[in-house]
Amino acid sequence: MLSAGIVCIEGELFMALKIRFGAAALICALAGGFAAAPVEPVLAQNFFERLFGQQRYDYRDRERVRQYRWRERQRQQHLRRGANLRQRQIPAAPIRVEGPKYYGYKPDALKTVSFTSLAEVVTASAEPDDLRLGITPFGEARGHLETFKMRTLAEVGKAVKAHYSENPDFIWVTGWRVNGKARAALAALEKAGDFGLSAADYRVDAPKYGFGAADETTRQKRAIEFEMELSAKVLTYVLDATRGRINPNRISGYHDLKRKKVDLAGALRIVAAADDVGNYLDARNPVNPPFKALVVELADLRTRDDGERVEIAAGTFLKPGADNPELANVIAAIRLRGSDALKADHAMTFEEYEGGETYTPGLVALVRDFQREKGLGADGIVGKKTIRALTIISVQQKIEKVELAMERLRWLPRNLGSRHVFINQPAFRATYMHAGRAPLSMRAIVGKKSNQTNFFMDRIETVEYNPYWGVPRSIIVNEMLPKLFNDPSYLDRLGYEVTTVSGERVSSQWVDWYSVGVNKAPINVRQPPGRKNALGELKILFPNKHAIYMHDTPSRSLFQRDRRALSHGCVRLQKPREMAAAVLGKSTDYIASRIAQGQNDSDPVTANIPVYVAYFTAWPNSKGTVRYYGDMYDRDVYLSRAIKRTDAARHAES
C-alpha cells in the first residue's frame, strides 16, 4: 500500500496506470489529500474508460464538466476573497447604512410682489364707453397700483394679479367703504385660531367705516390697496387651511407626503361670487370626523385651567427599600391621580404616611396597584412610565398637541375614505375603519427611534401567506455584517437564502461581504417561510419606497409592553389574521385555511383601501374622545420649530 489514504492497486493494473499517467500524478490522484480538490464528477465516473481508451463523452457529459469547472472557479474565487477579507484590517468606524435625517426647516419665503401690471388699463373696442374710459370705481383707483408692492407668498401674489387682470372689479369695497363681504371675510380670518392656525398671519387693517380721506385720490389709493391686501390674506388662509402651513417633507426624510395643489385663482373667483364668504373659508379646513373632534377639544381646552398638579423631578428613579426626597411627591400624585377605589383600598397607607423618604413595603404595594390601574407593569419601580402616568399633562401642552395634530391632518386627504386603515405610531395602534366606525383596532409594534417608521400614505394591494422575508440592506449591513466578518457561514447556518442579483444561490461564506457593505457587490438575502420567519404567518403589502408593511410576528410577548417602538420600521400587528380578513372582505377561517396550506401564496386586495402610516400625539378615538400620547420620535419638537420659523419668516420686516 502506498499510504493509509492510497487505494491499493497491484500488479499489471498499477503498472498500466503508472505508464498512462506517471507515478507522481498517480500517487497524487490516489492520495487521501486528493479530497481537498474535488474530482470532476464525469471525469471520475469515466476514469477507467478513458484510461483504456474507451472515450464515451456525449454532449451532456461535456456540458456537466463545463458547468462543474465554472462553479469550481467561482468557488475558488469566493474562497480567495473570503481569505482576503478575513485578513483585511476592518476600519475602526463600522460600515453602516444611515437612516433618514432631520433637516433645518426652511419655510416658504415671502416675496415682494409688484402690482404695476394691474395699473395698466387694457381696453377692447367691444366694451361700453364707460369701461373703455376706465370710469368704474376699480378703474378709477387702479392707477395707484403703479407703485404698490406687497410681501406675500409668490403663488398668492401670482393668483391675485391673475384674478384682477381678468376681473377688474372690487370684491371687498363698495362705495369707497368696506362692504359686508369684507366684514365676513375679516371675521373668518380673525377666528383662524379655532382651527389651529394663527390669526396674525391673515390680519388686515380695515377702517371701521369708509376710507375717510379728505381728497378723492387718497381715498382711492387706500381702497385699492386694502382690496389687494385682503385678497392676498384670504388666499393665504385658503392655502394654509387646505394643505397646512408646513411642508412636511422639509422637516425630515421620515416624512413622505405629497403636498397638495390648491387652485388659488379658482378660490378667488368663488369668493367673489359667494354669498357667505365666512362659511366658505371655514370649510377650507378638513371636514373629516377626526378634525371636527380636534376642533371641539381645542375649544374646550381653552376654557380650562390646569387645576391642582404635582410635579415630580425629572430623572426620578425609585426602587423598593430606597430613599428618595421625591417620594412625597409620588404619593401626593397617586392621591391626586388614583381612582376612588384605589384610595379606599389604601386608606390606611395614606393615613400613616408622614412624608418620609424611605420607600417602604406598604408604599410599594400602593404604587403597584396604581401601576395595574394604569395598565403598566406592576413592578413597584417608579421610573419614566410611572412618572408619566402620575404627572398630569398641562392644558397648554394639550393645546399644543391638538394644534400640531390639526396641522398634520391638513397633510392628509380631506376625506380619509369610507374604508381605511389608520396606524398611529405614538399610540402603537392600528385601526381598521369602515363607514365611520372602528370594527377592528389592535396593538401594534412600530420602529425603534433608531429605525423610525416613516409618515406616509398608500393603498393596500396584497395579503401574502407564509411569506419570505427579504432582508433590507440596512439590516444586512448594520446588523448581519459584523457577524459575517467573524463567521462567514452565519447566514447558511441560520437557513437564509443568499443570491446574486441574477437570482443564483450562493453560500454566505463565498461572498465578499466587505464589498457588499460598501455597496460595490449587490447581494440579496431572504429568510424562507417557517416558524422562525420574522414576518410570521402573513404580511399585508402596500408597496412603497420605504419597504414598510404590516405583518405578523413570532415574538407575541412584545405586545404586552406599553411602549412598543421595537421594530426595524415595519408595523407588526397583534391580530394579523383579523386585519387580513377585514381588508380582503373574508372570514378569519378563510385566512387560517390559506395559511394552513403551508405554501407561499397571496391574495390581491381588490377594494380601494387607503392606509395611513401616521404620527399624531393627540388623536380622537372612534367615539370622538381625544387621547394624548408621548412624542417618542421628537417629531412634535421638530414640527414646533418649523412653525416658529414660518411665523418668523411671515412677520419679518421687509
* pLDDT tens digits along 311-331: 899 889 999 999 999 999 999
Q: How many CB atoms lie within 10 A of CB 82?
A: 21
Confidence bin at 588 (pLDDT 50/70/90): very high
Please give the Cα distance from 473 to 489 (Å, whole number).
18
First to last CA, the chain: 102
Q: Report which of 557, 548, 551, 541 is spatially closest to residue 577, judged by C-alpha positions.
A: 551
Residue with cell 405614538: 426
Confidence bin at 191 (pLDDT 50/70/90): very high
635, 615 Cβ separation under 8 angstroms: yes
Q: Report which of 558, 510, 516 is spatially closest to residue 534, judged by C-alpha positions.
A: 558
Return the CATH fold of 416-468+530-616.
L,D-transpeptidase catalytic domain-like (2.40.440)
pLDDT at position 80: 62
Please give the Cα distance from 254 to 101 (Å, whole number).
7
Instruction: Choose from 21-35, 261-275, 383-397 the range with maximum mean pLDDT.
Output: 261-275
Q: Report which of 464, 469, 423 is spatially closest to residue 446, judged by C-alpha positions.
A: 423
**Cell matching residue 296:** 371641539
Q: What is the mean pLDDT of residues 565-577?
A: 97
pLDDT at position 131: 46
- Could you tell me the residue ranges of all domains in the chain? 11-86, 110-285, 327-391, 416-468+530-616, 470-528
Give the predicted TM-score (pTM) of the model. 0.79
* Alpha-carbon separation of residue 241 from 85, 202, 404, 618 (angstroms): 58, 12, 13, 19
Confidence bin at 124 (pLDDT 50/70/90): very low
What is the 3 state secondary structure string of 105-128?
CCCCCEEEEECHHHHCCCCCCCCC
3-state secondary structure of 618: strand
Confidence bin at 101 (pLDDT 50/70/90): very high
Confidence bin at 133 (pLDDT 50/70/90): very low
Please give the Cα distance from 27 to 7 (Å, whole number).
9
Burial class (CB in 10 A: 0-12, 13-18, 19+), 572: buried
Does the pLDDT at position 14 exceed 50? no
490, 508 Cβ separation under 8 angstroms: yes
Confidence bin at 594 (pLDDT 50/70/90): very high
Does the pLDDT at position 565 exceed 60? yes
